Amino acid sequence: MSWLELLNNLESGAVRAATQDENGNWHANVEVKQGILEAFKNGTNTEFPGGFVDKHNLAPQGFAANAGVRMVPGGSSVRRGAHVAKGTIIMPPAYVNIGAFIDEGTMVDSHALVGSCAQVGKNVHLSAAVQLGGVLEPIGASPVVIEDDAFIGAGCVIVEGVVVKKGAVLAP
């Protein structure tokens, strides 16, 4: 699969940067991460409206009303190659990086970061200033995973390889 097909499949949710095995353990999808790195290598820096410069092939996504995603104006960005499911609310300013997966009904609150390849389940609340670290390299390193129905309290920082289990509550 080409890196362009990969980005489209990541955005649709058909492909993910991490998968869960039959025992409930999460593993990095190395081929996906390699494809993301290939997209970076094939991009050239380009100016975007608002004074931003990034790879030409990784422009921020926009959402149509029928996508069912509510991204409130005020400085949020979802990078190309990230999946944001219906029912997700993104409050400004927030950032969702390439390879991230956000499932249905999730709230991404103000000043939150969903790093590259982070996996966020259904009905999760990422409170203000939550940071989910991104993990593209080393290539086999597991990303952050937040399973369904979890609540991540304001200011929590969760990094490489941490799995927050279903229904968990984290408070600073």
CATH number of the domain bearing residue 163: 2.160.10.10
Q: How far is CA 22 from the centre of its chain?
A: 23
Q: What parts of the chain have a pLDDT lower than 70?
A: none
pTM assigned to the model: 0.96
Strand-pair category, 77-78 with 95-96: parallel
Torsions phi, psi for 167 (to 5 deg)? 75, 5
Task: Quote the number of domains for the chain.
Answer: 1
pLDDT of residue 115: 98
pLDDT digits (tens, 9 = 90+) for 97-122: 999 999 999 999 999 999 999 999 99
Q: How far is CA 135 from the centre of its chain?
A: 11
Residue length, the chain?
Answer: 172
Domain range for 91 is 3-170
pLDDT of residue 45: 97
pLDDT digits (tens, 9 = 90+) for 118-134: 999 999 999 999 999 99
